[in-house]
Amino acid sequence: MDLNLDAPHSMGTTIIGVTYNGGVVLGADSRTSTGMYVANRASDKITQLTDNVYVCRSGSAADSQVVSDYVRYFLHQHTIQLGQPATVKVSANLIRMLAYNNKNMLQTGLIVGGWDKYEGGKIYGIPLGGTVVEQPFAIGGSGSSYLYGFFDQAWKENMTKEEAEVSILISMLMP
Amino acid sequence: REETSDRERGRGAIGVSEKMTFTIPIENGNGVKNAEADSQRTLYPYVTGTSVVAIKYKDGILMASDMGGSYGSTLRYKNIERMKAIGKHSLLGASGEISDFQEILRYLDELMLNDNMWDDGNSLGPKEVHNYLTRVMYNRRNKFNPLWNTLVLGGVKNGEKYLGMVSMIGVSFEDNHVATGFGNHLARPILRDEWREDLSFEEGVKLLEKCMRVLLYRDRSAINKLQIAKMTEEGVTVSEPYSLKTFWDFKAFTNPTVGAEGSW
């Protein structure tokens, strides 16, 4: 069986973001694979952009890391100029800008989640291609195929934080 | 800029794939990779919307589309609005790649903003917006980097009704009824038979719903959650999402064991 250790590091991932009454909960698995080999079994796919905005990364590890780095850099400057914390919408739009304008080269799907004083807790899904979709909950990564059915029946409006966390924990059990 | 020959770079023949793109295979020992990443070209859509159908009626224009966003064959998003008002007079509906549609909305935002800044009492009508979109789509096509959409542009200005379409390769025209994608094959024939100049609002909606129902039955990427938009001299409104009633009471389903042997 050929391990193909030269295959690009991809994440084979499950990432989830759920809004609840008062904020958002983000979840992700911790596997990074190169072909059939698990290159890192303790990855951190939930990445901080600002104090109040985080992003879940899936797809190519390199692409999602460099996009996160750029957006963290932009948001840092934006916060200084603005004089107050950046909003989740602005963070999502900066990611969209990079994802859309480099759609030929990037292969990463992202879920932006955070809280700001204007809109409260918000989740934005940014799949391949650079579409932005604001959603009450979002799932992504190759592992998310198993979760469409689960969330269709399990998710409901105005969950508590505990309910949101439990739904994410259960999801991670699926293959 | 280096001028190396194709031969030196190890490139083979240029081929055209079914995705309507030019691909240049590079041989590097590990198989053949495509040079798509090097070039500035949109090659295939990721998140797509399906048909849009629109008709002129007595008081203006009616347009319908569902709210689905497909990711290949997965129906990934079920709340995408594919029709948006442009200024006071026009409505843009789109099928195809949603990220490109979102980009087009940004271009139109800028266009309308600059138009308002003239502050001269004039505003761009549907005819002008349609022309702008045609130029944008055609120029992108010429650069082999299309916006992967088929757009439907409708509106009413100064009593004149306008309904037109632009495709991703820049084909542009106006008509009394238009449709994109599957709608061309399934909805247009219905409209050719049943459209009239003096349709009332109720009749127009019923006609559109008839088309959307057929699309729901026969288009694999359609979903039963649609919006209908109305454009009149008064302005543009987009309805709340709703769903259509469908018929599944076939005799073969209600009594499945009768004649089961040998049946399909």
Query: Inter-chain contact A133–B74, Cβ cutoff 8 Å?
Result: no
Query: Inter-chain contact B76–A127, Cβ cutoff 8 Å?
Result: yes
B92 is a domain residue: yes
CA–CA dist A55, A103 (Å, integer) = 18
Domains with residue ranges and CATH for chain A: 15-166 (3.60.20.10)
B151 CA: distance to closest CA in chain A (Å): 17
Query: Inter-chain contact B30–A145, Cβ cutoff 8 Å?
Result: no
Report the chain A residue with the minimal C-alpha distance to residue B41: A104
Q: Residue holding tokens 């499950």? A: A14
A13 is catalytic: yes
B140 CA: distance to closest CA in chain A (Å): 14
Mean pLDDT check: name the lowest of A6-15, B116-125, B164-173, B199-208.
Answer: A6-15
B257 is a domain residue: no
- Can you name the residues that pair with B66 across neighbouring β-strands? B226
Which H/E stretch holds residue B53? strand B52-57
Tens of pLDDT, residues A139-172: 999 889 889 999 999 999 999 999 999 999 999 8
- The total of structural domains in chain B comes to 1
Residue B242 gets which letter from DSSP?
Answer: B
Please give the pLDDT value at position A26. Answer: 97
3-state secondary structure of A125: strand
- Domain range for B150 is 61-238
When computed from its CA atoms, the radius of gyration of chain A, rounded to whole angstroms, is 16
Residue A38 CA from chain centroid, whole number? 20
Q: List CB contacts (< 8 A) between B40 and chain A.
A: 104
Report the chain B residue with the minimal C-alpha distance to residue A139: B76
Q: What average pLDDT does this structure show over A91-107? A: 96
The DSSP secondary structure of A62-73, one letter per residue, reads: HHHHHHHHHHHH
Tens of pLDDT, residues A47-89: 999 999 999 999 999 999 999 999 999 999 999 999 999 999 9
Query: Inter-chain contact A135–B79, Cβ cutoff 8 Å?
Result: yes
Angle at which helices B98-117 and A88-101 pack, to 10 degrees? 110
CA–CA dist B145, A131 (Å, integer) = 17
Q: Residue holding tokens 């005799």? A: B251
B252 is a domain residue: no
- Can you name the residues that pair with B151 across neighbouring β-strands? B94, B166
B250 is a domain residue: no
CA–CA dist A17, A134 (Å, integer) = 11
Tens of pLDDT, residues B22-52: 444 444 444 334 445 545 665 789 999 999 9
Whether B212 and chain A come into contact, CB under 8 Å, resolves to: no
Q: List CB contacts (< 8 A) between B145 and chain A.
A: none
Task: Say yes or no to pLDDT of B137 above 70.
Answer: yes
Q: For the whole model, what pTM was predicted?
A: 0.83
Residue A169 gets which letter from DSSP?
Answer: H
CA–CA dist B117, B124 (Å, integer) = 12
Instruction: Decide if B134 contacts B140 (C-beta within 8 A).
Output: no
Specify the CATH number for the domain of residue B195.
3.60.20.10
